[in-house]
Amino acid sequence: MDLADIGVTGLATMGRNLARNLARHGYSVAVHNRTAARTHQLVKEFGGEGTFVPSEELAGFVASLKRPRRAIIMVKAGAGTDAVIDQLAELMEPGDMIVDGGNAHYQDTRRREAALREKGIHFVGTGISGGEEGALNGPSIMPGGSRESWEALGPILQDISAKVDGVPCAVHVGPDGAGHFVKMVHNGIEYSDMQLIAESYDLLRQALGVSPAELAGVFREWNEGDLGSYLIEITAEVLDQVDAATGKPFVDVVVDQAEQKGTGRWTVQSALDLGVPVTGIAEAVFARALSGHPEQRAAAAALEGPALSGVEGRELVEDVRRALYASKIVAYAQGFDQMAAASKEYGWDLDLGAMATIWRGGCIIRAKLLDRIRAAYDADPALPTLLADPDFAAELNAAQEAWRRVVTTAVRIGVPTPGFSSALAYYDGLRRDRLPAALVQGLRDFFGAHTYRRVDREGSFHTDWSGDRAEHPA
Ligand code: NBP
């Protein structure tokens, strides 16, 4: 029997499309699914697209792979992944590779990698973004794991990934959980992108009284400029959609409670542990949570808003465009800070510019802005914050007055814009010469003797607040 180059186990939407993508690129692909019907269905429907080697049992699947074996798991993240890994590990040999392409938590990936390393098996936690379309036609691929495994897998993954200007959207991200971490932050940024887009739509619609269809035109125009991105492009599509049953705009017949699968929440949880303020992502997660409490929203209906409900003039459209772009820069800067912090914490040595490169195609946040981020890290790999890059700083400086007008207008007419507002607060916080954190330190010292540092001397100090209020070195 001819052995397969690579295998995929878990043939639901993602796994099936990834297997087809591999086959279409000329690789022979071993395929397996817990429920064999999916395996047979794949071969029946798409067998003509390339060489598939189907197996009903996992043992047969492993036996059908060339050595060292390369097996991709595409099953529902969680207990299922552990179950499949355990079964595969029993059947595999040192030097073989298990790739988890599911949306695993990076700490699970670190745990799994360490356990399999003991057995000499390479575990490659791999973020894959782009949904079912991306899996089939070219996703953005973020593999973690050993350098050795990248040498065996990299060419294949780059082959099937999206390409932008001929550059594959797949690089070796770093060891153990690095790939899944970067995918998690990608998803977190995706949350904030969507929140900012939603706020732009909401504010313009409420303030100017324009229709979703008119706003579709605005987003279409924006997509031609600096904001150009997949999410802006599909916003125009969704806003243009008319509900066939009622003739109403599609957005007006959808229940306004945003759901989440959890990667945004993971991003914020990790950011809290790392001490990185990812306010853009956090506000997006919380805005979804607020939307999902209809009972509280109904109970709050008695709360009053301002008398003013709209504004005159179309200047707001350009202001919102600028505020959206500025807030987006902040959200991306925060996400990149989080990756930098994790890189330091876990010794991953992440190349931040490369992360911007692999997000340019295949994935959901693909945006023109990423080219600019790449350029900023090329110019200064040790950039303390993207906001300090001279080009971004110039753009933020040019946008900040419009940004303030947008937030002010939103407050005046009572439209919530947590994304815009918190991004602006972050911007103002970073650029401040002195922050009120000094007072916070004073309070901490007062009630808890937590000590403080002085601006004019080295060392830590404590003031005897309950006694003579004299200062002593701590
Ligand atoms: P699902 O997440 O819906 O998972 C279904 C697959 O998992 C089926 O093949 C199922 O087998 C298998 N499975 C389960 Br459930 N429990 C199992 C177990 N204990 N042992 C073996 N197999 C088990 O599939 P998907 O939407 O294709 O996503 C696959 C992975 O890719 C997930 O981790 C997902 O988070 C990730 N991902 C999805 C997207 C997306 O856009 N959908 C994007 C990026 C990443 P069965 O057929 O026998 O039930």
Quick: pLDDT tens for 79-130. Answer: 999 999 999 999 999 999 999 999 999 999 999 999 999 999 999 999 999 9
Dihedral sign, Cα of residue 84, residue 85, residue 89, residue 94: positive
Protein residue with its CA nearest to atom 28 in ligand 1: 14
124 and 213 assigned to the same domain? no
Q: How many Cβ atoms are within 10 Å of 379's Cβ, its own excluded?
A: 12
457 and 422 assigned to the same domain? no
Position 260 scores a pLDDT of 85
Position 148 scores a pLDDT of 96
Position 182 scores a pLDDT of 98
Asked if residue 352 belongs to a domain, the reply is: yes
Of 172, 194, 212, the position where a domain reaches its end is 172
Of 172, 200, 232, the position where a domain reaches its end is 172
Ligand 1 atom closest to 13 (CA)? 27
β-strand 97-100 against 6-9: which pairing, if any? unpaired
190 and 154 assigned to the same domain? no
β-strand 97-100 against 122-129: which pairing, if any? parallel
Of 172, 205, 236, the position where a domain reaches its end is 172
d(C-alpha 156, C-alpha 170), whole Å = 10
CA of 130 to the centre of ligand 1 (A): 15
- Residue from 76, 112, 126 whose mutation best tests the ligand 1 pocket (most atoms within 8 A of CB): 76
Asked if residue 331 belongs to a domain, the reply is: yes
CA of 10 to the centre of ligand 1 (A): 6
- Asked whether residue 129 is marked as a ligand-binding residue, the answer is yes
Does 261 sit in the ligand 1 pocket, CB within 6 Å? no
411 and 293 assigned to the same domain? yes
102 and 218 assigned to the same domain? no
- Residue 412, both tokens: 């005046």
For 194-210, letters b (16+ CB in 10 Å) and e give bbbbbbbbebbbbbbeb
Q: What is the mean pLDDT of residues 213-223?
A: 98
d(C-alpha 30, C-alpha 19), whole Å = 8
d(C-alpha 392, C-alpha 372), whole Å = 8
CB 73 within 8 A of CB 88: yes
Asked if residue 178 belongs to a domain, the reply is: no
Asked if residue 128 belongs to a domain, the reply is: yes
Protein residue with its CA nearest to atom 11 in ligand 1: 34
168 and 236 assigned to the same domain? no
Does 102 sit in the ligand 1 pocket, CB within 6 Å? yes
Asked if residue 56 belongs to a domain, the reply is: yes
264 and 354 assigned to the same domain? yes
Ligand 1 atom closest to 101 (CA)? 31
The one-letter amino acid at 451:
T
Task: Give the residue numbers annotated as catalytic, written as ranges.
Answer: 183, 190
Tens digits of residue pLDDT in 409-464? 999 999 999 999 999 999 999 999 999 999 999 999 999 999 999 999 999 999 99
- Residue from 13, 14, 109, 140 whose mutation best tests the ligand 1 pocket (most atoms within 8 A of CB): 14
47 and 164 assigned to the same domain? yes
Does 74 sit in the ligand 1 pocket, CB within 6 Å? yes
Position 2 scores a pLDDT of 87
Asked if residue 1 belongs to a domain, the reply is: no
Asked if residue 301 belongs to a domain, the reply is: yes
pLDDT class of 261 with cuts at 50, 70, 90: confident
Domain, as residue range, for 398: 183-431
Ligand 1 atom closest to 10 (CA)? 9
Tens digits of residue pLDDT in 339-369? 999 999 999 999 999 999 999 999 999 999 9
Q: Which of 363, 341, 190, 206 is nearest to 280 (CA)?
A: 190
168 and 232 assigned to the same domain? no
pLDDT class of 232 with cuts at 50, 70, 90: very high
Position 222 scores a pLDDT of 98
Tens digits of residue pLDDT in 289-341? 999 999 999 999 999 999 999 998 889 999 999 999 999 999 999 999 999 99
356 and 273 assigned to the same domain? yes
Ligand 1 atom closest to 12 (CA)? 27
CATH code where residue 456 lies: 1.20.5.320
128 and 255 assigned to the same domain? no
Does 131 sit in the ligand 1 pocket, CB within 6 Å? yes
β-strand 122-129 against 140-143: which pairing, if any? antiparallel
Protein residue with its CA nearest to atom 4 in ligand 1: 76
Does 36 sit in the ligand 1 pocket, CB within 6 Å? no
Dihedral sign, Cα of residue 229, residue 230, residue 235, residue 240: positive
Does 77 sit in the ligand 1 pocket, CB within 6 Å? yes
- Residue from 16, 31, 32, 75 whose mutation best tests the ligand 1 pocket (most atoms within 8 A of CB): 75
CATH code where residue 21 lies: 3.40.50.720
Position 313 scores a pLDDT of 85
Ligand 1 atom closest to 9 (CA)? 9
Count structural domains, the chain. Answer: 3
- Mean pLDDT for the chain overall: 97
CA of 12 to the centre of ligand 1 (A): 6
122 and 265 assigned to the same domain? no
CA of 397 to the centre of ligand 1 (A): 45
- End-to-end alpha-carbon separation of the chain, Å? 75
Does 15 sit in the ligand 1 pocket, CB within 6 Å? yes
Asked if residue 68 belongs to a domain, the reply is: yes
